[in-house]
A = this chain, B = another copy of it.
Amino acid sequence: MNERTLTLSRERFAFKIGEVARLSHLPVKTIRYYEEIGLLAPTVDRSHSGYRLFNERVLQRLEFIKRSQTLGLSLQEIQSLLQLHDRGELPCPEAKQHLQQKLQAISAQIDALKALQTELQAILNRWQEQPVRRETTICPNIQDGSRESEVGSRE
């Protein structure tokens, strides 16, 4: 006749953190962290001995967090969405805004990475295995190629 059995019969506040971890495939530490920063507030209570007791909605919440994270949202952004949800509103419009911003940021990131890729490839292509030892450089292969960037207009 412990609180587990009692609460399980009503399906409320039945899960200890380890069970939630197994069911959600998230580390215990992560769940504790999410609770600490307030992401799980409406789904968690404490037992008389201080154990976190989660109700079944925590799993849906963790799924939402995981999914939103893989889509590139930060925990702060996710929190603001969850707060809207907890106030009874639909977080979708704000979510859409965030996702559109992410999409733009991702394009920019891809462009930056591609530029870096090109630059790295160029450096490696003209790499000198035994460069002349100069006192003015640490590794002559790694040098500012801003002037060489205009190369390619030959032929």
Contact = CB atoms under 8 A, between A and B. Distances in A.
Given A133-B90, A137-B60, A67 B144 contact: yes
- Total identical chains: 2
Interface string A111-142: 00110110111011001110101001111111
A16 B112 CA distance: 35
A4 interface: no
Given A92-B131, A110-B110, A139 B81 contact: yes
Contacts of A85: 138-139
A2 interface: no
A92 B139 contact: yes
B106 A141 contact: no
Interface stretch (A18-26, A93-101, A147-155): A93-101
Nearest to A95: B139
16 contacts: A60-B138, A64-B139, A68-B142, A71-B120, A81-B138, A85-B139, A90-B133, A90-B139, A95-B141, A95-B142, A96-B127, A103-B117, A103-B124, A106-B120, A110-B117, A113-B113
Q: Which 7 A-B pairs have the closest CB atoms?
A: A64-B138, A92-B139, A103-B120, A85-B138, A110-B113, A106-B117, A91-B139
